[in-house]
Amino acid sequence: MEKKSRGIFAIILLVLLGVFLVSGDVEIQASINPAVAGGTLTLSLSPPTALNSGSWAVGGSLILTWLGEQQAVFPSYSGRASVNISTGALTLTNVAVADSGAYVLQSTDPQLRVNASISVLAPISNVTLTTNQTSLVEFSGSAVATCSVSSGSSPSLLWLNGSSELTAGGRVLLANGNFTLKIINVTRFDQGPFMCYVSNPVSNGTSNPLNFTILYGPDTMALTVEGQSTVGSNVTLLCSAQSNPPAQLTWAFRGRPVNATGPLLTLYNVTENQSGPYTCQAFNNFTSMNNNITTQITIANSSGSEPQAANLWLLSLLSLVGIIFSLSGKFRGRGHFLLKKYIRMKSPGAFVLILITIIYKTGHVCCLSNTPTIRASENPVRVGSNVTLFSTDNVSTGAWLFNNTIMLIILDGSSIVDNTLQNRIAYNPTTSSLTLNSLTLADSGVYTLDSINVFRANLTLSVQVPISNVTLRANQTNLVEFNDTAVLTCSVSLGSFPSYVWMKGSSVVTAGGRVQLSDGNTTLTLMNVTLYDSGPFSCNVSNGVSYEVSAPVYLNISYGPSNGTIEVEPMSSSHIYRAGSDITLNCSAMSKPPANIMWMANDSYLNQTGPQLQLKNVTVSSSANYKCIFYNAATKRFSSASTMISIMDPLTEIAVNQIGGPAIQNMSFTLYCQVAGNVDSIHWWRNGWPVFTSNNTFVDNKTLSLDPVQRSDDGEYQCQAFNAVSNVTSSPYDVIVNYGPEMPTITGPSVGKTGDNITLSCYASSVPPSTYKWYFNGSLVATTSLLKVSMSGNYVCMAYNNITGLNSTALKTFTVVEPITNVQLEAPNDAAIEGFSYMLTCNVTGPADHVYWFMDGQQLQEDNLTDYMINKTELYFHPLVKNDTGTYQCLAMNAVGNMSSPVYMLLVNFGPEKPVISGPNLAETGQSAVFNCSAMSEPPSQISWWFNDTLVSNSSLFVLDHLSLNMSGEYTCMASNAVTGVNRTNSRVLTVIEAITSVMVKNDTVPTDSKNLTLSCVVTGSYDMIYWLKDNQTLKTDTSAKNMFLSVQNNTLFFTPVTMHNDGMYQCVAVNRVAEHQSPNYNLMVNYGPMNMSITGPDSAKQGVSVSLNCTALSRPNCEYQWFFNGSSLVIKTGPVIMFSATHQNEGDYTCQASNRVTNITLYKTKTFTVASHASAIHFLSHCGLMLMGVFALSLPVLLN
């Protein structure tokens, strides 16, 4: 069934490859074009047409075919393609980008051929924006951002900065197909946010926003002075600088640093000597840039200022004196008692003079001295918090002052505090530091530390209220671009010395151009607003101790219409469309609120409003200049955009025709393309590939000439006609180039066996195929391409082409040969012996052209290194060698066959070679000697053994038992080959020596620790040397770590002396030329002791308790034990253990005697035993206790006194 189906489909394909008519009324309509990758695409005919058979193809590759209700899908589209057998509509599922191309539908029922170009695009996905660096320094860094997509076909890219489009120019560069944005020498206005918008006709995507941090400044510095510049007033200096991050601000007076940082410098109760240049210094530690601004302040001397100051000091002095002498006492502190002491010692007048000295001497110290200085733990500082004023030097006599009013007096390290400040300040005499608690605004001012006649240091402290309740409002929020001005006002409810910074999003707003800042930066004015001024705006208010940001304010900017565009669907670069198409025009413009849109064609209004205009089933008369008019009711502005639309009829019939005669090789041939309709261009195709002009190919629009035509020009030719809206392709025209015949080729054997019938075949390449004639010895014998021959001779084949009129001939010589019928290999009757000549002969029945010789399946090749010669049928060995043994064959060959002889086995007799003997050269009397003899030989040799010219054995194995000294001598082995008649001999000399029969270790004394000991090695038999083993290890006879000394003389081992550490298994080894002989083990056990003697058991026990004492000692052999009591010579117990009852009669000294009968050593050990008592009297166990008691008694009278 499968083969039948394949046959049907083949027939279908042949039918479909025929000539097709092109319909001018039918076209392919796509469900979507371009199509989305992964989706479904349907191609149908418009208008619908019933088709009974046909095929779909794309780019020359068939997709499927159908005939009636049967359809066949080609393997590459299996599971994805299907056709509606009634309408011919093709459906492709899960389409891919590779499915793009020219789709062709061909049908024979009815005859039809149409095509359409379809694009499949992958949707844009995962748009990502990356950069290698986000933090850049203004004017010295370049911002580089790269946009990428994970997938998407034909992507188009647009860069945005906020809502504005970025284009290349100036500092902005676009590279890598616009996918890389580079901004050279960035400025503070290049912070972003940047985005890339990627699109294709089927999708779009926008990246995540990317912001750059631009580090700049400090620059655009400003320094303002607030307050009266007169003696005794307060002056505040406010410094600002544009910087990111905010600059570090420090102050200098007359070029010298002052102890203040931050934007504010407050001078309290100023004097004339504070006149001069004040400099604000700004430093940005990220850009490493600095800047400064200087202003001159002159403190004018107002009348009466000096008397007022003197009066102030005098008033303070008088008040202080009065307070000191009051009963209540205004000053408290450690100095209070000190003052009392001064008052008692000196008159009140003297004390007043001291105070006057303290106060007025301070005026003689230079207030601008650089060292020492005072500093604050925090400055400025929040209201309600605490601050500590530190001094670089300690003060022993002096005072702390606030605005020239005494707060605290320091006298000889003690302090006196103003009673009104008793709970608010604390003084540290160690560091001379002053701590102020619960600060108020009134605590702002100049703090002075006056060290009498040493130094005077000032510090300006600023106490500030934190910023709170920052509010931002706009005069109006609904504005028209370029017409209106926006005014934004920032205010705070609380806060000292507020500083205002305006922000738009994350960028700082600075004055310049359309932007104005006024009222101490509290008011922001935007002149002639633009669409980029929508915000969000916020104000950042700060002082030295806090900051707060207002809620954002957005401006509603009405703008446009501008940048109007018209997009036409489907897209066409030339805006030329096919008659009958549906066209959609989409109009858009930048406008807020959205603009009203009206449409015009050739400057005539259409009854159409809105952003879209649809043109259905267009005709040539629909061609026009289409314009959309935009109107913004809020801005009262107009704008327009236009595009030209042209409509053209599609091409219809097309066919390829031949001009002149058939295509004959090396002659001229011409094709002509006939097409109906307005043609822009014509392309020629051959076998699906475009045809270009070459050496023999000439294309002139509708005409294709091949001059001269070559065989390689064979193929299917098509012409394809194009205009702006369509293209049609002709049916294939098959061009067959006629040529030949070329030189014929005769195939078949040149020789044959007698009686065989041989067939010769003749073929010549030719189009059309040639006719053939055979001639034998000049006579015509056949008119076909095949010929049967049976005789030797010359055969000629002639080929003829009736179209080209040419012929060609070839000759074949055939020879009849008799076959080889028998091959035999013969050898002489004599034995093959090494060293003699030998010859093998190959007898062949029949003519032989070649004879080859083989040994063990390998062909023999004669050269200078071989010991044989080959003379065709003879193989001659001169002389034979043993390696010539093997299987031999000869192979005879002629032109019609070959034959091999049966295998012949050649065995070469040789030897014997010199015998090889294995066996000993030395042996001991009483033992056996075994000899073995062998010799290489073919056939194997006969072996015999000879001793003193006497035959002793006829076997290769020769054994001598019970050797004696007279068996020493030369033993000869003889090998004899009966075939070669050769004898060979070899000898071995055997020497028999006296055997060692016994080795023993002897000792005649008892081994005792620390005494000399001798071990003797007794050997029966002759030996060469003796050595000793201990515990199977060779004994080293040198001084050991345990102070023992070993020595060996002859066969004796000396211990001088022996110790218990010499215990072990000893052997002596006697060595001769044949073997080593070991003695049995001798177990050396050294007797010692007794030693380490001890008695275990209690020293005392309660009355009546059973007591056991155990006596132990190290000894070999074991000791004998005896017990004695209280020095008596009477033995009271034998054995290591003695037991008795704890009674007063048994109290005393127990002595144990341990005796070793072998070493004759006796040891004694004594233990004292007592009975524990419960008597009421104090019991002292020692004289020391009695002595301590006596000392205590003598000391009682002293203690009681």
CB 1184: neighbour CB atoms within 10 A? Answer: 9
pLDDT for residue 994 is more than 70: yes
Whole-number Å distance between alpha carbons of 1175 and 496:
96
Alpha-carbon separation of residue 867 from 842, 880, 886, 980, 1101 (angstroms): 19, 7, 15, 20, 116
Asked if residue 1098 belongs to a domain, the reply is yes
1197 in any annotated domain: no
More confident residue, 1040 or 62: 62
Amino acid sitting at position 492: V
Which range (282-286, 349-353, 797-801) has the least confidence? 349-353
CB 1121 within 8 A of CB 1136: yes
1198 is a domain residue = no
Enumerate residues 6+ apart whose C-beta is below 8 A from 544. Answer: 262, 263, 264, 379, 380, 462, 464, 497
H or E element at residue 841: strand 838-845
The span from the CA of 8 to the CA of 14, in Å, is: 10
Q: How confident is the model at residue 825 (pLDDT cuts 50, 70, 90)?
A: very high
- Asked if pLDDT for residue 975 goes beyond 90, the answer is yes
Residue 317 sits in the same domain as residue 425? yes
According to DSSP, the residues that pair with 388 across neighbouring strands are 435
**Number of residues in the chain:** 1201
Residue 352, pLDDT > 50, answer no
* Residues 317 and 449 both lie in one domain: yes
Q: Using CA atoms, how far apart are residues 960 and 859, in angstroms rounded to an integer?
A: 53
pLDDT > 80? residue 124: yes
- Note whether 415 and 505 are same-domain residues: no
CB environment 737-761: b (16+ within 10 A), e (fewer): bbbbbeebebebbeebeeeeebebe
Both 273 and 384 in one domain: the answer is: no
Whether residue 302 is predicted with pLDDT greater than 60 in this model: the reply is: no
Which CA distances in Å does 358 have to 125, 338, 452?
84, 16, 6
What does the pLDDT read at residue 24? 55
Same domain, 135 and 105: no
DSSP per-residue string spanning 593-662: SPPEEEEEETTEEEEEESSEEEE-S--GGG-EEEEEEEEETTTTEEEEEEEEEEEEPPP--EEEEEESS-
- Residue 824, CA distances (Å) to 634, 679, 876, 896 in order: 123, 88, 16, 19
Q: Which of 732, 656, 721, 655 lies closest to 688, judged by CA?
A: 732
Give the pLDDT mean for 943-966: 92
Q: How confident is the model over 1107-1132, as pLDDT tens digits?
A: 999 999 999 999 999 999 999 999 99
Q: Which pLDDT score is estimated for 1029?
A: 95
The helix/strand/coil state of 4 is helix
Q: What is the pLDDT of residue 368?
A: 40
Q: Does a structural domain hold residue 866?
A: yes
CA angle, residues 126, 128, 133, in degrees to nearest 5 = 165
> pLDDT-based confidence at 523, cuts 50/70/90?
very high
Predicted structure pTM score: 0.36
Tell me the per-residue pLDDT of 271-294, one tens digit each, with 9 for 90 and over.
988 899 999 999 998 888 999 999
Distance of CA 367 to the CA centre of its chain: 67
Give the whole-angstrom CA distance, residue 400 versus residue 370. 18
* Rounded Cα gap, residues 910 and 799, in angstroms: 70
| Percent residues over pLDDT 70 in the chain | 89
**Residue 216: which residues within 8 A CB-CB, separation 6 or more?**
137, 138, 187, 188, 242, 243, 244, 284, 287
Distance (Å, whole) CA 585 – CA 253: 73
Residue appearing with tokens 């006024």? 518
pLDDT tens digit string along 865-905? 777 888 889 999 989 998 999 999 999 998 888 999 999 99
> pLDDT, tens digit, for every residue of 995-1028?
999 999 999 899 999 999 999 999 999 899 999 9
Q: What is the pLDDT of residue 872?
A: 86
With a pLDDT cut of 90, the percent of the chain lying above it is 56
CA distances from 1188 to 928, 947, 1195 (A): 96, 110, 11
Identify the domain containing residue 6 by its residue range.
Answer: 2-121
Number of separate domains in the chain: 12
Q: Could you give the dihedral angle defined by the CA atoms of residues 62, 66, 71 and 73, in that order, rounded to the nearest 10 degrees?
A: 0
Distance CA 782, CA 762 (A): 11
Q: Is the pLDDT of residue 628 over 90?
A: yes
Cβ neighbours around 170 below 10 Å, total: 8
In a domain, 1180, yes or no: no
- Contact between residue 241 and residue 282 where contact means Cβ atoms under 8 Å apart: yes
432 shares its domain with 317 = yes
pLDDT at 844: 93
**Tens of pLDDT, residues 1027-1048:** 999 999 998 876 554 445 788 8
Note whether 1013 and 1064 are within 8 A (CB).
no
Compute how many other C-beta atoms are within 10 angstroms of the C-beta atom of residue 440: 12
Q: Is the pLDDT of residue 343 over 50?
A: no
Stretch among 417-421, 539-543, 598-602 having the lowest mean pLDDT:
417-421
Per-residue confidence (pLDDT) for residue 2, from 0 to 100? 43
Average pLDDT for residues 1061-1089, to the nearest whole number?
93
- Tens of pLDDT along 140-154? 889 999 999 998 888
Of 802, 738, 726, which is closest to residue 770 (Cα–Cα)?
802
pLDDT score recorded for residue 1044: 54
88 and 145, same domain (yes or no): no
Evaluate whether residue 1192 is within a structural domain.
no
pLDDT tens sequence across 407-465: 999 887 788 888 888 889 999 988 889 999 999 999 999 999 988 878 889 999 999 99
Grade residue 1189 by pLDDT with cuts at 50, 70 and 90.
Answer: very low
Specify the range with the lowest mean pLDDT, choosing from 219-228, 668-677, 992-1001. 219-228
Cis peptide before 1007 (omega within 30 of 0): no
Q: How far is CA 131 from the centre of its chain?
A: 20
Q: Are residues 947 and 839 in the same domain?
A: no
Whether residue 1200 lies inside any domain: the answer is: no
Among 422, 439, 440, CA closest to 388: 439
Residue 982 has pLDDT above 80, yes or no: yes
The Cα diameter of the chain in Å comes to 177
Of 1051, 1086, 1121, the domain-final residue: 1086
In the listed set 1056, 1086, 1116, which residue is the last one of a domain according to the structure?
Answer: 1086
Residues 532 and 488 in one domain: yes
Contact between residue 310 and residue 238 where contact means Cβ atoms under 8 Å apart: no
Write out pLDDT tens, residues 693-734. 889 999 988 899 999 999 999 999 999 999 888 889 999 999
User: How would you class 559 by CB atoms within 10 Å of its CB: exposed for 0-12, middle for 13-18, buried for 19 or more?
Assistant: buried
pLDDT at position 70: 81
Mean confidence (pLDDT) of the chain: 86
Q: What average pLDDT does this structure show over 808-834?
A: 90
Residue 6 has a pLDDT of 45
- Which residues touch 1073 (CB under 8 Å, ≥6 apart)? 922, 993, 1024
In a domain, 427, yes or no: yes
Q: With bands split at pLDDT 50, 70 and 90, how would you rate the model's confidence at 1174?
A: low
Does residue 13 sit in the same domain as residue 117? yes
860 pLDDT more than 80: yes
Bridge-partner residues for 238, per DSSP?
Answer: 224, 264
Residues 310 and 298 in one domain: no
What pLDDT, on the 0 to 100 scale, is given for residue 1038?
64
The Cα–Cα gap between 276 and 270 comes to 12
* C-alpha separations of 213 from 130, 133, 1158 in Å: 15, 9, 105
Residues 54 and 185 in one domain: no
Q: What pLDDT is stored for residue 75 in this prediction?
A: 84
Domain stops at, among 492, 521, 547: 547
826: CATH = 2.60.40.10
